[in-house]
Structure 1
Amino acid sequence: MKLSIIIPVYNVELYISGCIQSLLNQGLSTSDYEIIVVNDGSKDKSIEIVKQFQLDNNNIFIYNKENGGVGSARNYGLNLAKGNYIYFIDPDDYLANNTLKPILDCAKTNNLQVLTFISKGTTATNLHDSVTDISKAFSITKLSGIDYIGINSYKNEVWWYIIKKDFLEEISLRFIEGRWMEDAVFTANLLLNANNVAHLPIDTHRHVRVAGSAMTSKEPSHYLKVIYDNANAAELFMPLIKSIKKNKDCIERLKTRQQSFVFFLMIRMLKSTIKLKEARKIIERMQAVNAYPLNSFLGNDYNGFTYSLLVKLFNIKNLYYLIFLISNPILKSKK
Structure 2
Amino acid sequence: MKLSVIIPVYNVEDYLESCLNHLVKGYKNKDDIEIILIDDGSTDNSKYICDYYAKKFVFIKVVHKNNGGLSKARNLGINISKGEMITFIDSDDLVPINYLNVLLDILKNTNADIISFKYKIVQNGLFNKPVEYSSKKMKNATKVDMMTSVVRDSYTWDKIYKRKLWKDITFPSFRHYEDIATTYKIFEKARKFVVYDDVLYFYRQRSGSITHQNSASIKLRAVTDAIIARKEQLNFFEKNNYQKAYKLVTHDLMINAFTLIRWTIQYKLKKDNLYKEMVIYLKKYEPSIRADGIKYYLMVKAYKNVYPLYLILIYFYKKRIHENMDFYN
- Common topology (TM > 0.5): yes
Q: 1:200 aligns with which of 196, 199, 211?
A: 196
* Richer in helix (by share): 2
SS in 1 for 2:179: helix
The answer to whether residue 285 in structure 2 is matched with residue 285 in structure 1 is no
Retained in 1: the 8 A contact 2:138–2:194? no
Match runs of 1:175-324 below 5 Å:
175-245=171-241, 247-275=242-270, 277-278=271-272, 281-286=273-278, 310-316=299-305, 318-319=308-309, 321-322=311-312
Match runs of 1:132-151 below 5 Å:
134-135=133-134, 137-144=136-143, 146-150=144-148
Deviates more, 1:101-110 or 1:112-121: 101-110
Question: Which position in structure 1 is the counterpart of 2:112?
Answer: 112
Q: What whole-Å deviation, never above 9, does each CA across 1:272-327 have from its counterpart, x for those lacking one?
A: 3413x33xx32433367x677666799999986xx776544334563564477579
Retained in 2: the 8 A contact 1:260–1:297? no
Distance apart, 1:78 and its partner CA:
0.9
**Structure 1 residues 254 and 308, CA gap change in structure 2 (3 angstroms):** closer
**Structure 1 residues 273 and 81, CA gap change in structure 2 (3 angstroms):** farther
Q: Which amino acid in 2 is paired with 1:163? A: Y
Q: What whole-Å deviation, never above 9, does each CA across 1:20-59 have from its counterpart, x for those lacking one?
A: 1121025352221111111111111111112222232012
Question: Which position in structure 2 is the counterpart of 1:89?
Answer: 89
Distance apart, 1:134 and its partner CA:
3.1
Question: Which position in structure 1 is the counterpart of 2:73?
Answer: 73
Q: What whole-Å deviation, never above 9, does each CA across 1:82-134 have from its counterpart, x for those lacking one?
A: 1111111111101011134333432453211111111000112422325x653
Mapped to 2, the partners of 1:18 and 1:141 lie a distance apart of 33
**Structure 1 residues 126 and 271, CA gap change in structure 2 (3 angstroms):** farther
Percent of aligned pairs sharing the same letter: 25
Mapped to 2, the partners of 1:204 and 1:141 lie a distance apart of 18
Deviates more, 1:52-61 or 1:177-186: 52-61
The normalised TM-score by structure 2 is 0.83
**Structure 1 residues 149 and 53, CA gap change in structure 2 (3 angstroms):** same
Distance apart, 1:135 and its partner CA:
4.6
Number of aligned residues: 320
Q: Which amino acid in 1 is paired with 2:308? A: N
Question: Which position in structure 2 is the counterpart of 1:103?
Answer: 103
Retained in 1: the 8 A contact 2:102–2:132? no
Mapped to 2, the partners of 1:299 and 1:122 lie a distance apart of 35
The normalised TM-score by structure 1 is 0.82
Q: What whole-Å deviation, never above 9, does each CA across 1:187-207 have from its counterpart, x for those lacking one?
A: 222223322112101211001
SS in 2 for 1:112: coil
Find the structure with the greater CA-based Rg. 2
Deviates more, 1:230-239 or 1:110-119: 230-239
Mapped to 1, the partners of 2:288 and 2:42 lie a distance apart of 38
Unaligned runs of 5+ in 2: 323-329
Distance apart, 1:77 and its partner CA:
1.1
Q: Which amino acid in 2 is paired with 1:138? A: K
Mapped to 2, the partners of 1:101 and 1:226 lie a distance apart of 36
SS in 1 for 2:44: coil
Retained in 1: the 8 A contact 2:39–2:50? no
Deviates more, 1:174-183 or 1:312-321: 312-321
Distance apart, 1:250 and its partner CA:
3.0
Unaligned runs of 5+ in 1: none
Distance apart, 1:212 and its partner CA:
2.8
Q: Which amino acid in 1 is paired with 2:217? A: S
Retained in 2: the 8 A contact 1:151–1:249? no
Mapped to 1, the partners of 2:317 and 2:112 lie a distance apart of 49
Mapped to 1, the partners of 2:289 and 2:204 lie a distance apart of 28
Q: Which amino acid in 1 is paired with 2:260? A: L
